[in-house]
């Protein structure tokens, strides 16, 4: 087993109640629930994409250009929702009745 280091933490009352229920339901200690939550958070941090300033600048420039164009002109719909559903059902329906 890996070496454990004791940590003392403060949690809110409602968190304590929920922690106890989860630990009891899973049949593990409260400390194990906290360790698992920490491990999940640490994995999530590892998957965050690197901050790319150049990409954000391109996005910002694109959005500014779109804003300068003004609102998109509205036009009357030439389709109905039922027509769209019917077309998609014909295309994707796997039932061959």
pTM given for the model: 0.46
Name the token pair of 85: 């559903």
**Whole-Å CA distances, 55 to 52, 60, 64:** 5, 9, 14
Task: Please check whether residue 19 lies inside any domain of the structure.
Answer: yes
Round to whole Å and give the CA distance between 89 and 97: 12
Task: Please check whether residue 46 lies inside any domain of the structure.
Answer: yes
Task: Please check whether residue 1 lies inside any domain of the structure.
Answer: no
Task: Please check whether residue 36 lies inside any domain of the structure.
Answer: yes
Residue ranges of alpha helices (H) inside 1-97 are 13-26, 30-46, 53-69, 81-92
Q: How confident is the model over 40-53, as a mean pLDDT?
A: 77
The total number of structural domains in the chain stands at 1
Please give the pLDDT value at position 49. 64
Q: How confident is the model over 18-29, as a mean pLDDT?
A: 96
Percentage with pLDDT > 70 across the chain: 91
Task: Please check whether residue 91 lies inside any domain of the structure.
Answer: no
């Amino acid at each position: 087993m890996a070496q454990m280091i004791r940590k003392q933490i403060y949690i809110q009352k409602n968190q304590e109640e929920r922690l106890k229920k989860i630990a009891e339901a899973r049949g593990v200690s409260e400390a194990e629930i906290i360790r698992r939550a920490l491990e999940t958070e640490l994995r999530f941090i590892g998957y965050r994409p690197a901050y790319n300033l150049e990409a954000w600048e391109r996005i910002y420039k694109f959005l500014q250009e779109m804003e300068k164009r003004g609102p998109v002109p509205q036009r009357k719909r030439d389709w109905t929702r039922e027509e769209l559903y019917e077309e998609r059902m014909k295309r994707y329906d796997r039932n061959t009745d």
